[in-house]
Structure 1
Amino acid sequence: MDVFNVIDCDGKKIRDKEVIDYIQQRLETDASFAPSLRSSVGVMPTEEHTSIEFTGTDRPGLFSEVCAVLADLHCNVVNAEIWTHNDRAAAVVHVTDHSTGYAIKDPKRLSTIKELLFNVLRGYDDFRKAKTSLSPPGIMNRERRLHQIMFDDRDYERVEKAVGRVEDKSSRPQVTVLNIEKDYTVITMRSKDRPKLLFDIVCTLTDMQYVVFHGMVNTGRTEAYQEFYIRHVDGLPISSEAERERVIQCLEAAIERRASEGLELELCTEDRVGLLSDITRIFRENSLSIKRAEISTIGGKVKDTFYVTDVTGNPVDPKIIDSIRRQIGHTKLQVKRSTILAPKPPKETTTGFFLGNFFKARTFQTFKLIRSYS
């Protein structure tokens, strides 16, 4: 039995019956859904859009160049999710044909789109091969797919930072992997709390072919503490130091990928052809770097969220933001918040957490997994 204590995005109890019914319906529907191929996870046929996936070396202006190519090819971006991590970039983009408003089906045109995007992503000195793929028209969980794409791209491998950029290791999540019982490996994680953190971790464990048997998650005002008892699908716990290090790296990456780095900007306006290309071009011309983005279009209106820094990864000059808002429109582009200078949570030893769960239970909202075989 799995027990979840959940709240909505505003931290309040969920009382909307439609939301509760929807959650129940999805859980009952997906309970027996166990796809055998990773590439088929969450994919269902539709005629609404064409899905484009890509990975490449991150650089300032990359997403702007991608949007410009799509606009030139008469593709309208209706939904997209873009993540960057460890100098790698990945995206799942849903596009439609400008003239029809539906998925693009012409094989020759699809081949041209793939080729031109590959040329943009390849850049000039990409030491890893860029990848683009055009999925059959379908509905997929973009976030689920992005975890798979970045995992396959090995973004969890640490790279040397550019000169002048110092990595703050104290802000990285703390992950420990211990074999304290012969039948299970115990994983403990401590990080800043955020929406969808548990989803990101479970996706990664699943992609790495591990099964969660027991677990507990405690969340406070700013932090999350997680503890899982896992085994590999072959029934064995983690058995080597190399495997242990790989699990730690992959879980750190899973936590960091969706971390909201930078200044959050929200664009709300009427949709039009080439809008995203124009917005990202303005960002690029003002030396902004997009660290993460969520693009959505509903009923002819766009609601896009961008997390931006300057090209060196530092906070953006407020004067530049004011200039950009004047170009786009103050009512259309809103400044939400900045996460670069957010206060760091107090330090705590892993041992203290591992042995202290029972003492924290009264001060944290608690979620428990009991005998979970998902």
Structure 2
Amino acid sequence: MDYWTSSVSNDEEFEKLVLRMNPPRVAVDNDSDRRATLVKVDSANKKGSLLEVVQVLTDMNLIIKRAYISSDGEWFMDVFHVTDQQGNKIAGDDIAERIQHSLGPKGHSFRNFTRSVGVQSAAEHTTIELTGRDRPGLLSEVFAVLADLKCNVVAAEVWTHNLRLASVLYITDEANGLAIDDPDRLANIKQLLVYVLRVDQDKQSANTTVSVDSTHTQRRLHQLMYADRDYVKDDNDDTVCERTKLVVTVENCGDKGYTLVNLRCVDRPKLLFDTVCTLTDMQYVVFHGTIITEGPDAHQEYYIRHMDGNPISSEAERQRVIHCLQAAVKRRHPEGIRLELCGDDRVGLLSDVTRIFREHGLSVTRAEVETRGCQAVNVFYVTDASGYPVKSSTIEAVRKEIGQTILHVKDDIYSSSSNQEAGKFSLGDIFRSRSEKFLYNLGLIKSYS
């Protein structure tokens, strides 16, 4: 064992000892604020404490209305004002227990999540991570390869930003429904996916490795995008910033030894998680912070230092922080129309659906794939191949081919148009279309006759 490994191990053991001697205390207060529940966290400080708490609250689908952060020195004291998705107060027993477990000595620290893109095998599924240059039809090709290799995609999340794509896919063996752990088969899967991802202009973007670690899916997507340098400014940055009212400023506070970061934009769920993820990945520590949501807008203020204890020391570093925080906000900003697919799950479903998207000139900008029992619950955001809004006639053609009863448009403009168009067809006419008969034979849709 080398000196560095021994030092890290000793630091971890000391940290666990401190946490056992000073276990985290979490209080849930429903009396102090008439509109929100207060979650108060008091704990010995460790790397990633803030992110761990924010992640727990985010994973519980809570809305963080306000937050006051203080972690100067060896202690961590934060207060979060949270509500449920409908803006109501919440019961607190589960929150306190989950945060205490996250911050306790058996909690899952983020310090080791530095692995590169790859394929890993877990007890129930195999995880595939992909990054590369985005292009129309890429997702269709990825799902087609997996279907051809007898892999069933049970869950997935795909982000695109600034012509880059990052994806975390969870697959099982079509034959037995278990994780794929055969080294030769995994190597073949990686080789074929690299071939799909690699293009002449971007040969270095599709490297893959095998790993045994795992992590939070959306946190990992942030890491993948950051490692792939999606924050490099592009021509659409100003347009997106204007649409989201996004403004990021970074300046040093010379007398206090901090760097002050201010971020303002239109509020949305998981905004705090996205920005804290990015600061953590960039090796910055938040010592003090204030997060306030007023109406539709959010204001975040952080006093940060680098892990070495120093504030930002150069203009290049300052610009990099600005661009990375802008990218963190924009990655999750949906581009295009939202389509929701809900129907019986089967092997090859995603391959068929995304192929139909591609054949109609649609490009998937974001995707969330989930399997609930025997049901596939999928969400896609789509634009045309040039990134522009899709015509309503194209959307209706896609819905007719996939099945209007299982593919729904979640957009007011298109939904009203779709309802008008739907009245012109009977279910018998729709079912008799050649493409829908084809999908029926594949088992993608059921007969409604």
Residue of 54, 60, 64 corresponding to 2:130: 54
Distance in 1 (CA, whole Å) between partners of 2:317 and 2:182 is 44
The amino acid that maps onto 1:60 is P
Distance in 1 of aligned mates of 2:275 and 2:135:
26
Residue 112 (str. 1) matches residue 184 (str. 2): no
Q: Residue in 1 aligned with 2:57?
A: none
Aligned CA RMSD, in angstroms, stands at 2.3
Which whole-Å deviations, capped at 9, do the CAs of 1:219-260 have from their partners, x for residues lacking one? 133221111111111111111111111111111111111111
1:11 Cα deviation from its structure 2 partner: 3.0
1:63 aligns with: 139
Q: Distance in 2 between matches of 1:66 and 1:80?
A: 12
Partner of 1:148: 223
Change (3 A) 1:195 1:338: farther
Query: 1:372: which partner in 2?
Result: none
Q: Residue 29 of structure 2 aligns with which residue?
A: none
1:6 alignment partner, SS class = strand
2:244 pairs with 1:244:
no
CA distance in 2, matches of 1:65, 1:135: 24
2:247 pairs with 1:174 = yes
Question: Which among 299, 302, 309 is matched to residue 383 of structure 2?
Answer: 309
Q: From the superposition, tell whether residues 124 and 185 of structure 1 become closer, same or farther in structure 2 (CA, over 3 Å).
A: same
Change beyond 3 A, Cα 1:71–1:153 = same
Gaps of 5+ in 2: 1-76, 415-449
2:232 counterpart of 1:157 = yes
- Matched residues, number: 330
Relative to 1, partners in 2 of residues 1:247 and 1:30: Cα closer, same or farther, differing over 3 Å? same
Residue aligning to 1:364: none
Cα deviation, 1:115-167, whole Å, max 9, x if unaligned, reads 0000000024326432334444x753110101111111111112356xxx994
Superposition pairs of residues 1-374 of structure 1, within 5 angstroms: 1-15=77-91, 20-32=92-104, 33=107, 34-39=109-114, 46-126=122-202, 128-136=204-212, 140-160=215-235, 167=239, 169-171=241-243, 173-180=246-253, 181-337=255-411
> Which structure has the larger Rg?
2
Secondary structure in structure 2 of the residue aligned to 1:110? helix
Shift of 1:169: 4.9
Distance 1:280 1:197, change over 3 A: same
Instruction: Give the share of equivalent positions with the same residue, in percent.
Output: 53
Q: Which residue is 1:343 aligned to?
A: none
1:285-312 CA distance string (max 9 Å, x none): 1111111111111212111111111111
Distance in 1 separating the partners of 2:320 and 2:238 = 24
CA contact (8 A) 1:182 1:237 kept: no
TM-score of the pair, normalised by structure 1: 0.83
CA contact 1:53–1:135 (8 Å) conserved in 2: no
Moved over 6 A (4+): none
- Which residue identity lines up with residue 332 of structure 2 in the other structure? R
| 2:131–2:166 Cα contact (<8 Å) kept | yes
Whether the 8 Å contact between 1:186 and 1:227 is mirrored in structure 2 is: yes
State the alpha-carbon separation in 2 of the partners of residues 338 and 184 from structure 1: 46
Give SS of 1:69's match. Answer: helix
Residues 52, 132 of structure 1: 8 Å contact kept: no
Counterpart of 2:102, as a letter, is D
Say if 1:212 and 1:166 are closer, same or farther in 2 by CA, change over 3 A.
Answer: closer
Is the 1:45–1:139 Cα contact (8 Å) retained in structure 2? no
Letter in structure 2 aligned against 1:159: D
User: Unmatched 5+ residue regions in structure 1?
Assistant: 341-374
Query: What's the CA shift string for 1:297-351, capped at 9, x where partnerless?
Result: 12121111111111111111011111111122222111112799xxxxxxxxxxx
Equivalent-residue separation in structure 1 for 2:319 and 2:311 (angstroms): 14
Specify whether residues 133 and 14 from structure 1 end up closer, same or farther in structure 2 by C-alpha distance, changes over 3 A only. Answer: farther
Aligned residues of 2:121 and 2:180 also touching (Cα < 8 A): no
Q: Secondary structure at the match of 1:179?
A: strand
- Return the alpha-carbon distance in structure 1 between the equivalents of residues 184 and 280 of structure 2: 36
Q: Per the alignment, in what secondary structure is the counterpart of residue 82 of structure 2? A: coil
Tell me, in whole angstroms, the C-alpha distance in 2 between the residues paired with 1:170 and 1:309: 20
TM-score w.r.t. structure 2 length?
0.69
Are 2:260 and 2:302, in contact at CA under 8 Å, matched by a contact in 1?
A: yes
Inter-partner Cα distance in structure 2 for 1:291 and 1:48: 28
* 1:38 shift after superposition: 2.1
Q: Report the equivalent of 1:370.
A: none
